[in-house]
Amino acid sequence: MTSTPFPADKPNRPERRGRRGAGGITLRDVAKLAGVAPITASRALNKPDAVSPEVLRKVREAVERTGYVPNMLAGGLASSKSRLVAAVVPTIAGPVFQETVQSLTEALAEHGYQLMLGQSGYQNSREDALLETIIGRRPDGVVLTGIMRSADGRRRLLASGIPVVETWDLTPTPIDMLVGFSHEQIGAAVAEFLQGKGRRRVGSIHGNDERAVRRHRAFSESARRLGICAQDQDMAPHAVVAAPTTLGSGRTALRELLERHPDTDAVFCSSDVLALGVLTEAQAIGIKVPQQLAVIGFGDFTYARDLHPALTTVRIDGTGIGRKAAQFIIERAGGRPVADPIHDIGFTIIERDSA
Amino acid sequence: MTSTPFPADKPNRPERRGRRGAGGITLRDVAKLAGVAPITASRALNKPDAVSPEVLRKVREAVERTGYVPNMLAGGLASSKSRLVAAVVPTIAGPVFQETVQSLTEALAEHGYQLMLGQSGYQNSREDALLETIIGRRPDGVVLTGIMRSADGRRRLLASGIPVVETWDLTPTPIDMLVGFSHEQIGAAVAEFLQGKGRRRVGSIHGNDERAVRRHRAFSESARRLGICAQDQDMAPHAVVAAPTTLGSGRTALRELLERHPDTDAVFCSSDVLALGVLTEAQAIGIKVPQQLAVIGFGDFTYARDLHPALTTVRIDGTGIGRKAAQFIIERAGGRPVADPIHDIGFTIIERDSA
DNA sequence: CTGAAAGCGCTAACAT
DNA sequence: ATGTTAGCGCTTTCAG
């Protein structure tokens, strides 16, 4: 880039009357410099195959010279394609949705889309306000981590006509598209797994968020059916902690659980953080894992494999969820109807040392 | 909302000729329904004080009836205010920047701004491509986690005229504004802290990312000056692991470090994850913490206080960083020049049991 | 393959 | 307090 720098002279355009606009370099400037019409410059940038090589070269050079960066607000307005995708997560803290958000960002970026992040908080109160601002941006898609329960929210999203992907859950009645897995199946599978390991007095520790509760319920039912837990209550022994879960709440919860049910020989934790707390507490009070107590977590957070003992846990392919969600949205944006808009991504019980 | 639903009849507008636009409800529709000019409806929504109560009522009712959601693409284009702020993080995985991103999102949302998330990866390669798409959105601000090192990136950002806040570091020459702390000061402070605790053979384990390396260097220098580490090398004993750090790499690194320097009595870890690995490994091989080995981490991740033993660590007020960055940008957006655009947020050594 | 015209939906500027 | 006009910077439509 040795040629003369651009704003050497910025010649006569229709005399910017008011002081509107940011006054930056526009496609017009590029076009003028390249000696073509603005629309041709636009084509050169967006559909390089549709213009002559000569024009392409000149436009590219003009872009170089000027340092032009297309204004996507204007482009989006004109084309009704914002190339923006909104993601709503309860919270970005906590490792649960990280993989999903990360792979979503990457997969979208590869196709020229960008991610707008919204946090709904664990209460649904903010979800509605968030929806308003999201729809206002006219994104080409919305990815919801967790399904949308508010009827009003569903209605507005539907009315907006924006492609929606709900994730991290399975529901027979998604708003639009869905990439998830069954919390009920997981609960049941874990109970069976523990039975297979010879455990006979199982319990659970879980956060009070909706999905964790549903895993627990299914776990509890299966455990009772299989006869591997105390039968004197209507649920398997359990302790509930506030979401978001922490190592500390796991420690406390284990003490609590053991106080009420000292013969517990296995715990299903609704997150690996909780499980780490259980492991920590067990070590502190001298309970051997897995000999005296089997521990199984949920999430397969990065540290799970490296713990001592290595944590047995339920793995969800968060990356796969993000990738599939991106694929759904990109397909839709391309005008193609999505063949099978409900995708069960499944889960895996990763057997390590703790259970 | 019992009145007749809106698109009862959508009367004569200038005969939408082509099939452009998304065909949704626009401000014009609302204005027509309220019996006012579009600009008046616009005012009613954006500056409620500037219109008569009567008009305000009618417009609001029309919005209700129609379910109108303003198109911020159009609004942003017209006003050169996108109400969008871009945040660039190396990665969203890993707990380091979470607090910052979270508080940033919240603080911005309170003022009607939204966050666009970009991941640069730990290599700077993608940072430049990212910059292009970011500037294209004409955000009202950019928050960089970590300072921008690429000269070209700095230039483009500067040229764009977008307010920029660099964070998580201190540099005498920020692009624009800065909210950070000194990695050098931290390294030195930790060395002094360990000296005060009577440690005489300190070492460090750190990831190979730039900031961690700088903390280590300062730590190392101070340690040598204070005479609390092996003096036969030009650096204090240390082990380097690949970023992002994991519990597993912490375990490995401790073994490595002790092999080469069996008399090490304190380790400074460049992250709490690493420290957790060190704790885990120490327990696994029967080393007593803190009696035989003091461990100090960095980050004060949520679980640090609940570990066994509770982890001594360096705390950075990530929430404060996010809040301050948001404040900087919002002030700028309001046209006010920011008084002191370089803000040192400091750090705290949180003394717990591990050191 | 290239271009002129006409907006996308909104708001700044200037009336009134 | 309200309205008129003229764009913001881009792309669609429709002609060459």
Reported as a single tens digit per residue, the pLDDT across B6-58 is: 443 333 344 444 456 667 899 999 999 999 999 999 999 999 999 999 999 99
| Phi, psi dihedral angles at A84 (to 5 degrees) | -125, 140
Pairwise CA distance, residues A193 & A295, whole Å: 12
pLDDT at B3: 42
Looking at residue B335, what is its pLDDT?
82
The CATH-assigned architecture of domain B84-181+318-345 is 3-Layer(aba) Sandwich (3.40)
Chain B environment of A80 (Cβ under 8 Å): 20-22
Work out the burial of residue B238: count CB atoms within 10 Å of its CB; fewer than 13 is exposed, 13-18 middle, 19 or more buried: buried
- Beta bridge partners of residue A283, listed in sequence order: none
Alpha carbons B166 and B180: distance in angstroms, whole number: 8
Domain with CATH 1.10.260.40 in chain A: 1-80
CATH entry, A1-80, from 3.40.30.10, 1.10.260.40, 1.10.357.10, 1.10.3720.10: 1.10.260.40
Cα gap B65→A15, rounded to integer Å: 42
User: How many CB atoms lie under 10 A from the CB of residue A221?
Assistant: 16
- CB contacts under 8 A, B 314-343 vs A, are none
Tell me the backbone φ, ψ of residue A286, rounded to 5 degrees: 80, 30
Q: What's the 3-state SS for B23-45?
A: CCCCHHHHHHHHCCCHHHHHHHH
Question: pLDDT at position B125, please?
Answer: 64
- Gap from A337 CA to C13 C1', Å: 45
pTM of the complete model beyond 0.85:
yes
pLDDT of the residue at B122: 61
Nearest to A280 among B24, B74, B306 (CB): B306
For residue B2, pLDDT beyond 50:
no
Residue A285 is classified by DSSP as T
Q: Of A60-74, B80-94, B261-275, where does mean pLDDT reach its minimum?
A: B80-94
Contact list, B114 vs chain A (CB under 8 Å): 116, 118, 133, 137
Q: What is the pLDDT along chain A (355 residues), one digit of tens a residue?
A: 334 444 433 334 444 444 566 678 999 999 999 999 999 999 999 999 999 999 999 999 999 999 999 999 999 999 999 999 999 998 888 788 889 999 999 999 999 999 999 988 766 667 778 899 999 999 999 999 877 778 888 899 999 999 999 999 999 899 999 999 999 999 999 999 999 999 999 999 999 988 999 999 999 999 999 999 988 888 999 999 998 899 999 999 999 999 999 999 999 999 999 999 999 999 999 999 999 999 999 999 988 998 989 999 999 999 999 999 999 999 999 888 888 999 999 999 999 999 9
Mean predicted lDDT score pLDDT of chain B: 90
* pLDDT number for residue A13: 41
CATH node for A183-315:
3.40.50.2300
| pLDDT per residue as tens digits for the range B132-156 | 999 999 999 999 987 777 888 899 9
Span CA (B17) to C1' (C5), Å? 13
Hey, is the C-beta of B92 within 8 angstroms of any chain A C-beta? yes
B123 vs B129, more confident: B129
The CATH 3.40.50.2300 domain(s) of chain A lie at: 84-181+318-345, 183-315
C-alpha A211/C-alpha A270 separation (Å) is 9
Task: State how far residue A203 is from chain B, nearest Cα, in angstroms.
Answer: 22
**DSSP codes, A240-282:** EEPSSP-HHHHHHHHHHHHHH-TT--EEEESSHHHHHHHHHHH
